[in-house]
Amino acid sequence: MSSSTTLTALFEKWRQINDHEPSRWDDSIQLFLAESRPSTEILKIRQGRWISTVHELEAFIERENRWPHANSRRPAEFRSTDEDRLANWVQYQRRSEQTLSDYRADRLELIPGFSWAPLDEKWEQRLWEYVDFVEREGRRPSRRSRDSPERSLSVWRATQSELTRAGGLSAARVELLRSHRI
C-alpha cells in the first residue's frame, strides 16, 4: 500500500471521529485538521509545527534514502544541524510513545521504516539471522571464516555470551538465546 493511500485512510479515520465525536476535540483532532487542511494560520500552532516536522522527516528520508542520524562523533563540518534536529526529534517521539496522542502515533507509523524500538528490532533480526545460519549450515558461524557476514554473526554471538555473563542482557533476551541454544 502506498504512503498516500495509507495517509488517505488515516485522514478518513480521523474525519469520521471528528464528524461523530465532536467532544473528542483533543490533540489528535487538531493534528488531523492541521495536516488535512493546511493553512498558514493553522500551521502556526503547535500541532502545525509537529506536522511540518513530520513532512521534513519524510522529505529527508525520500531525499537521502535513509533515516536521519545524530552523531556527535562526526566532525562539525560533516554534521548537518537539520539532520541532527530530525534525529533528535524522532528519538523524542519514540521516548514519548506512551504519552503521544493517537493521531501522532498513527501518523508516525505511516512513515516507511518507522519503528518504536529500532534497536530491539535490529537485535531480533540478528538473532534470526544467527538461527537461520545454524539451521542452514548445521554449525555455528566461525570467526575465522572468509565470509564477512558469517564472521559478523560469530562476533554477535560472542558479544551476546559476554553480555549474558556480565548481566547486561534483559531476562527476555537471555531466554530467547537459551531457547535457541545460543
Domain boundaries, the chain: 3-109, 118-179
**pLDDT for 117-148, tens place per residue?**
999 999 999 999 999 999 999 999 999 999 99
**pLDDT for 18-69, tens place per residue?**
676 655 546 666 667 666 665 555 545 667 788 889 999 999 999 999 999 8
Return d(Cα 27, Cα 43) in angstroms, integer.
14
Return d(Cα 116, Cα 99) in angstroms, integer.
13
For 11, other C-beta atoms within 10 Å of its C-beta total 14
Contacts of 158 (CB under 8 A, 6+ apart): 143
Task: Compute the radius of gyration of the chain from its Cα atoms.
Answer: 22
Q: 80 is written with which cell numbers?
A: 548537518
Alpha-carbon torsion (37, 42, 44, 46), positive or negative: negative
- Mapped onto helix, strand or coil, the DSSP state of residue 178 is helix
| Torsion angles phi and psi, residue 14, rounded to 5 | -75, -25
Model pLDDT, residue 10 = 78
Return d(Cα 3, Cα 112) in angstroms, integer.
8
Q: 14 is written with which cell numbers?
A: 480521523
Per the prediction, the chain carries an average pLDDT of: 85
On whether the pTM is more than 0.75, the answer is no
Return d(Cα 123, Cα 14) in angstroms, integer.
35
Contacts of 155 (CB under 8 A, 6+ apart): 143
Model pLDDT, residue 160 = 95
**pLDDT for 73-100, tens place per residue?**
766 676 678 999 999 999 999 999 998 8
Return d(Cα 130, Cα 32) in angstroms, integer.
43
Nearest in space to 17 (alpha carbons), one of 5, 3, 27, 6 = 27
Model pLDDT, residue 27 = 62
Model pLDDT, residue 61 = 96
**pLDDT for 143-179, tens place per residue?**
999 999 999 999 999 999 999 999 999 999 999 999 9
Model pLDDT, residue 141 = 96
| Type of residue found at 72 | S
